[in-house]
Structure 1
Amino acid sequence: MTDKELRRRLAERLTEKGHLRSGPWRAAVEAVPRHEFLRGGFFERIDGDGPTAWRPVPADGPRWLERCYDDESLVTQIAGTIVPADIRGEIMRAPTSSSTMPGLVVRMHEDLQGEDGHKILEVGSGSGYSTALLCERFGSRRVTSVEVDAGVAARARTALGQIGYTPDLVDGDGLVGHRDGAPYDRLSVTCGVLAVPYEWVAQTRPGGMILATVCGWMYSSELARLTVGEDGTATGRFLGGQISFMLARPHQPPPLGLLPDPDAGDERPAGLAADVLDDWNTRFVAQLAAPRAQKVGLTHDGRTEPLLIDVAAGSWAALRQDGGGRWLVRQGGPARLWDDIEDHVRRWRADGAPALEEFTVTVTPDGQSVTWPAKG
């Protein structure tokens, strides 16, 4: 198939899935050649029993063109600097940049509810494909995109220019937005954040919208759509769908360092079993109670047990089952992480465990708050 046929087929698939919902965005998908943003190749994951490994797929590889039009996120950078051309064989490091799956890109563009004439700020240019769709829809002169990684930005800028798009592509920290182009009608974020920075609110006009994925270090995340008010605050709801993005680099969790001794601390019967964190919604609520806690598995006496650790605070909670299957928790440090999580989850459940789409997100100069509707 030609790339034009592949673009048309992608648009049909995204329409069938409900991601593409309007004519202007369908026209953009059919017009923008995604493969031009993947000329450097991409990495594919190698599944196995050990650590996750990645291998390069070069642009002259079999099915490269067809795979560019799959509804799939394609990793374009590993470990902050490594691109497919740098590797022969496999690499076991974490991805740091990608071309996000088209279905998610298009869903976000639709959810942003942009209109003709709107001025757009995109945080996170990535490969440039999402930026190109914005340019096709609104016109290059109305699109600003900020990318923190200079190498990623340079590749995006080249690809965009080669196919005729000329947005204002800024090298810089998207977490502070781009004041020179403000105010914006819409602000779209293609990375995860622990909290929505107030700078984004300040740079969006009253009545404008911000679309960003709010995450935590236990890796439950939700897409929030906020409307900026005349009072300079922003409020809105989560849109559902268990959306996830790579965290913005300044919001990445710190190294764990030396793990705590699981035999230290104070132990008590746990009011909640550790497996409550297997549920996406419950884990999101738990993150609200312990926003800086990371969840890892700790091998102890031949068993792998859940460990929550807040590196900066020095607090931790280790959970285990006794011989009768009862859950116990041992905690140390200045805060009691599992106590806080149990209290938060119990209150949420007492209010009927409302869906995350019913939560309210508010951003003011003092920070972000997330609440759910109280029962009664």
Structure 2
Amino acid sequence: HAVLVARESRAARSDGGATGAVAAARSAASGSNGSTFQNAHTGDKITLLGQSPAFRKALDLSRKVAGTDASVLISGESGTGKELIAQFIHSHSRRAGRKLVAVNCAALPEQLLESEMFGHKKGAFTGADRDKAGLLEVANGGTLFLDELTEMPMPLQAKLLRVLQDGVVRRVGSEQQDAVVDVRFISAMNREPQEAVAQGRLREDLYYRLRVVPIRLPPLRQRIEDISVLAAHFLHHFWERHRQPGEPSPTFSDDAHDFLRTRPWRGNVRELQNMIEHTAVVADPGKALLGSDFPVYDDVPDGSSGELAAATFSGSYMNDAYHVAKDKLVAQFEKEYLTSLVSRAGGNMSRAARLAGIDRTTLYRLMEKHELRRDEYSGAVA
């Protein structure tokens, strides 16, 4: 994801020659673009790939905070790799030898989620035929990863806040303290944290407890320079999974690179992964891939028309007055456009202004308006 997950494959372990995308992916993973770690529980070797400034900033911050017990709040669109960053932080922490327990707050109804997280006493509800420890107790000494945090019901947010304040867990149906836990919290959400607080989806006091260190993962459309490296890795991985040993891997033509760099990627790296897996299954061995070789699904807008604007338009704007909704959408467009523009220009403001067809004064004004810093994009590859 923002980020790329790469489980070590047969080709990566063999001594045979590598060609095409296989060689490119192996080179990227072994160089400065890759950061590799091992999942303590599955044994998978995972590589996070990316050289874009926004991604490197997120990864560097993850590495810095890993050695502490500070609570981390990871935000980013679906498919950007939030859970992988949580795994990265845990694997580099002093708690790496203990459990990383993941809770998807959107996957369970309130009563079941409460029982799973906090545990329950025998007889607490129908079907509770024995005492059961919750995931907070299971994670004692380790890390608890709360995914889709804003989907946690408000009563459970209040109960979680008490655990954060005093480290005490009270099981469902209990009248007393049942356990004292030492847990490191990493949370994730696919919306802007401040917006979630303003909309009443996240308690403000809980937000500040869990957001000691915020990490924002950029969407793939703001990581243009990473797309080719990620695509090469995925092709390497899925070619090894689906094809016969010895079949020469395809390569990416300039046309293929141009196609991949201009996609809107609303599904982010997960969407790229799916597209490249499809290509690995159907492509001819040794073929120089063209843009036309990649699948474009009819049910997903391709960005060539107003469908893209409709797909990226936040549903919450529809409840606002016309001028308010319009201002929000324009601001969203400006910020995303500027981020992609300056990244493509490698932080060179003169070049960015030329690419956009505006003067530098206007560009600087827009950057200041959206609190964007050009030094975050210096060194990017166009």
Is TM > 0.5 for Structure 1 vs Structure 2?
Answer: no
TM-score of the superposition, structure 2-length normalised? 0.31
Considering fraction of residues, name the structure with more strand: 1
TM-score of the superposition, structure 1-length normalised? 0.32
Which protein, 1 or 2, shows the higher relative CO under an 8 Å CA cutoff with sep ≥ 6? 2
